[in-house]
């Protein structure tokens, strides 16, 4: 296209190129889901359909973005680990975060009717998601990041479960329940659940206690996968992307804090 006198404005655009040789983790989080969960009457403290819709949207994102090897989600958030050194969108931050938030949002809205057939969305409150990308320089940071999110899921779920059961089973008001739990440790909440409410926390559903892990499974007998695009020809790149895209995505509700999880799946952290 011919230059025009207007073209100088292009120089005002700024791109942030994310640091090479680092792990990129993208986290999406629902906007105002405190309110949205009330509007559409999510069950408290956990709505299984809402969680499975999150899982469906996250899996759809992984199917569209083969560089995403692992995803972990709970509540209204999902974190995606991208393959180290991948050159997705030339590592341009805005392109990356806006693609994740819009793709996640699109699938969440598209599949809504399958999970909430009796609560149609209204334009006054459509679900949307923000996204941020965080860079981690080493494997330990990445493991600790995902441990942090899973611990957060556990702490919130233990609190919310106890909080709501005190209301439902013992007739406390939300204020009384909150007061009852003030300053309690995890062990205290377990004890309240067990002795006062007849609930063994261990028997709660794994999806609530541990959240959901989505993994792009890779047969270890295959060649070591690499999307390190600088070292590949275009043909190799295309072939590998196709292979990655086809690799099955599996869903688990398991502990990702222990080392075993990562040791069994070395491809998640290799470049």
Binding site, annotated residues for Mg(2+)? 29-30, 76
At closest approach, how far in Å is the CB of 189 from Mg ion?
A: 21
Does residue 92 contact residue 17 with C-beta atoms inside 8 Å?
yes
At closest approach, how far in Å is the CB of 203 from ligand DGT?
A: 19
Among residues 42, 104, 145, 146, the one that binds ligand DGT under rule CB under 6 A: 42
Q: Per rule CB under 6 A, is residue 158 in the interface with ligand DGT?
A: no
Among residues 18, 22, 47, 241, the one that binds ligand DGT under rule CB under 6 A: 47
Does residue 209 contact residue 252 with C-beta atoms inside 8 Å?
no
* Separation of alpha carbons 61 and 102, rounded Å: 10
Contacts for 204 with CB less than 8 Å, ≥ 6 apart: 157, 161
Q: Per rule CB under 5 A, is residue 33 in the interface with Mg ion?
A: yes
| Cβ nearer to ligand DGT, comparing 23 with 40 | 40
User: Which one of the spans 37-45, 82-90, 120-128, 228-236 is the region binding ligand DGT (CB under 6 A)?
Assistant: 37-45
Nearest to 138 by CA among 17, 28, 25: 25
Among residues 37, 139, 147, 190, the one that binds ligand DGT under rule CB under 6 A: 37
Q: Per rule CB under 6 A, is residue 46 in the interface with ligand DGT?
A: yes
* Separation of alpha carbons 171 and 190, rounded Å: 19
* Separation of alpha carbons 134 and 148, rounded Å: 14
Does residue 78 contact residue 153 with C-beta atoms inside 8 Å?
no
Coil, helix or strand at residue 224? coil
**Where are any strands of DSSP class E within the chain?**
23-30, 68-74, 77-82, 129-136, 212-216, 249-252
Residue 71 φ/ψ, nearest 5 degrees: -140, 145
For the segment 149-208, give every residue that binds Mg ion (CB under 5 A). Answer: none
H or E element, residue 146: helix 139-170
| Cβ nearer to ligand DGT, comparing 50 with 247 | 50
Site string for ligand DGT, 50-79 (x = CB under 6 A): xx-----------------------xx---
Among residues 23, 26, 33, 70, the one that binds ligand DGT under rule CB under 6 A: 33
Among residues 20, 32, 137, 260, the one that binds ligand DGT under rule CB under 6 A: 32
Does residue 93 contact residue 18 with C-beta atoms inside 8 Å?
yes
For the segment 49-108, give every residue that binds Mg ion (CB under 5 A). Answer: 76-77
At closest approach, how far in Å is the CB of 31 from Mg ion?
A: 6
At closest approach, how far in Å is the CB of 218 from ligand DGT?
A: 31
Residues in the site for ligand DGT, rule: CB under 6 A? Answer: 29-34, 37, 42-47, 50-51, 75-76
């Amino acid at each position: 296209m011919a230059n025009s006198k207007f073209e100088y404005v292009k120089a005002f655009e700024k791109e942030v190129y994310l640091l090479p040789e680092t792990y990129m983790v993208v986290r999406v989080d629902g906007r105002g889901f405190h309110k949205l969960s009330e509007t559409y009457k999510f069950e408290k403290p956990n709505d299984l359909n809402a969680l499975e819709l999150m899982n469906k949207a996250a899996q759809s994102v992984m199917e569209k973005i083969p560089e995403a090897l692992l995803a972990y989600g709970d509540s209204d958030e999902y974190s995606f680990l991208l393959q180290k050194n991948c050159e997705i969108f030339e590592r341009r931050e805005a392109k990356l975060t806006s693609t994740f938030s819009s793709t996640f949002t699109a699938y969440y809205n598209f599949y809504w009717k399958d999970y909430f057939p009796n609560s149609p969305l209204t334009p006054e409150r459509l679900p949307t998601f923000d996204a941020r990308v965080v860079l981690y320089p080493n494997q330990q940071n990445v493991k600790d990041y995902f441990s942090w999110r899973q611990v957060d899921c556990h702490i919130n779920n233990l609190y919310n479960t106890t909080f709501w059961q005190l209301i439902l089973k013992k007739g406390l008001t939300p204020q009384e329940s909150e007061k009852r739990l003030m300053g309690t440790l995890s062990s205290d909440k377990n004890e309240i659940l067990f002795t006062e409410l007849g609930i063994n926390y261990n028997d709660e559903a794994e999806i609530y206690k541990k959240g959901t892990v989505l993994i792009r499974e890779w047969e270890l007998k295959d060649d070591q996968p690499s999307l390190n695009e600088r070292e590949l020809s275009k043909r190799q790149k295309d072939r590998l992307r196709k292979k990655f895209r086809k690799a099955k995505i599996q869903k688990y509700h398991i502990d990702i804090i222990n080392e075993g999880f990562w040791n069994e799946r070395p491809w998640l952290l290799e470049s």
